[in-house]
Structure 1
Amino acid sequence: MRFSDTLVFVAVVAFAVALPHASAVDYGKIGTTYEITEADMLEWIEQRVTAKVASGEALRYQQQQAEKIKRKLLNPEPLRSVTHAARNRTQYYDPTFTVEENIVNERGQILVAAGTTINPLNRIGLSRPLVFFDARDKNQVAFAKRFLDSRAGLAKPILVGGSYFELMKKWDTPVYFDQQGALIRKLGIQHVPAIVSQEGIRLRIDEIAL
């Protein structure tokens, strides 16, 4: 078949396919055909996985990932939004908020009307002071330990950097980490060490220079 004839033939086939009620027509075999020799993709993937498992590579990768996750959990990324306190500073945080929508029960009765102001400290007080510090700084660690001892352990140590796990083992007491800086952003803490305690219906925040 000449090249020009081929073009005509392709055009006719395309036109026939475009017809809404066209019937299927067998035009026979055009040119030389070959059997597909490429490997099946799923079969190829299965072979690769089997080979990695057999060689131990898959297990090594799994162990590496598990170790990486473990290190990240035990040593969270330090919070870079806080720095070491260079001077003493005291500020206050008022947790009062205004209800934006009516809070109703299952029967539609209004429990708290929109526009109502609420201060959680009127109902639930801060039972223990919080001490925020960076465990990578030995001076801050020593300060936090003295503070905890002065309170007979009735305070909550919260890290902004360092390993809470190592410190928890050393002190044999729960140590927390301010994940993603949720608390320091809420309270407006910019420098550490900082002590948060309740004073009336406000929270007092003392940033302390060492």
Structure 2
Amino acid sequence: MLARSAIVATTLWFTLAGPLSAQDLGVIGPTYDIAERDLIEAIQSRLQQMQATGELARHEEEYRRRVIEGIEKPRPVPGIKPTETARTFYIDPTFTLDRHIQDEHGRILFPAGTKVNPFDYDRMSKVLLFFDGSKKEQVEFAKRYMAQSKIPVKPILIAGEPIKLMREWKREVFYDQGGALSRRFLIKQAPAVVSQEGKRIRVDEVRP
């Protein structure tokens, strides 16, 4: 309901803003002839030269190799080390609205300043398991944990080869691209298990 109301409020704002209009402002400064055609011809000439020498094919192959490598083996998330000292900490997901949330009629549903905890409206349907796929002991731990867990587990790599692991496990394996999730959950060690406990997020950095 909150998300829907936010969308409705945003749509209403754009509606009230009204249509934009354009007008001729005249000539404000000196004008110049467009030289775009010369630029296009120069690019085409350069591409033809690269194709004739085989340079274009080499660039295409190198680009293809980098793309495949980036998918098969993404960059590791920086700043996360194997767990040395296990620890458990909690994160309060409560946030404060910085503006009124209104419905399509302009009625205020949630005034600015309202504190909202997402767990008042929904629950985490899965446990998040962060681990380093390049380390055998962490991969084995992840397999055991997923087999024993009574709650569905979403495996998330912070290093390693997700495609290779998906082929081996025959299931989805995710990757924390850029470390966005790790930063959100303040993870510094792996393996790490993120779950819900009451109205808080529980993070367990464990030793495999």
Which 10-residue stretch deviates more, 110-119 or 60-69? 60-69
**Superposed counterparts of 1:107-118, under 5 Å:** 107-118=105-116
CA distance in 1, matches of 2:44, 2:92: 60
Which protein shows a greater Rg? 1
Aligned to 1:50: 48
**Superposed displacement of residue 191, structure 1:** 0.6
Aligned to 1:89: 87
Judging changes above 3 Å, is the alpha-carbon distance between structure 1 residues 45 and 119 closer, same or farther for their aligned structure 2 residues? closer
Deviations 1:76-98 (A, max 9, x none): 11012111111211111110111
Aligned to 1:177: 175
Equivalent in 191, 205, 208 of residue 206 of structure 2: 208
> What is the RMSD computed on CA atoms of the aligned residues?
1.9
Judging changes above 3 Å, is the alpha-carbon distance between structure 1 residues 156 and 50 closer, same or farther for their aligned structure 2 residues? same
Deviations 1:20-50 (A, max 9, x none): xxxxxxxxxxxxxxxxxxxx88666544321
**Superposed displacement of residue 117, structure 1:** 0.8
TM-score scaled by structure 1?
Answer: 0.75
Structure 1 residue runs of 5 or longer lacking an equivalent are 1-39
Aligned to 1:136: 134
Identity of aligned residues (%): 39
In the alignment, is the contact (CA less than 8 A) between 2:126 and 2:151 conserved in 1? no
Aligned to 2:59: 61
CA distance in 2, matches of 1:166, 1:207: 25
Aligned to 1:195: 193
CA distance in 1, matches of 2:99, 2:119: 21
SS of 1:131 mapped into structure 2: strand
Judging changes above 3 Å, is the alpha-carbon distance between structure 1 residues 57 and 90 closer, same or farther for their aligned structure 2 residues? same
SS of 1:209 mapped into structure 2: coil
Judging changes above 3 Å, is the alpha-carbon distance between structure 1 residues 105 and 91 closer, same or farther for their aligned structure 2 residues? same
Aligned to 2:163: 165
**Superposed displacement of residue 159, structure 1:** 0.8
Aligned to 1:14: none
TM-score scaled by structure 2?
Answer: 0.76
In the alignment, is the contact (CA less than 8 A) between 2:128 and 2:154 conserved in 1? yes
Runs of 4+ in 1 over 6 A off after TM superposition: none
Structure 2 residue runs of 5 or longer lacking an equivalent are 1-37
Deviations 1:147-193 (A, max 9, x none): 01112782000111111111111111111111211111111111110
Deviations 1:36-71 (A, max 9, x none): xxxx88666544321222333212311210221221
Letter in 1 for 2:80: V
Judging changes above 3 Å, is the alpha-carbon distance between structure 1 residues 109 and 61 closer, same or farther for their aligned structure 2 residues? same
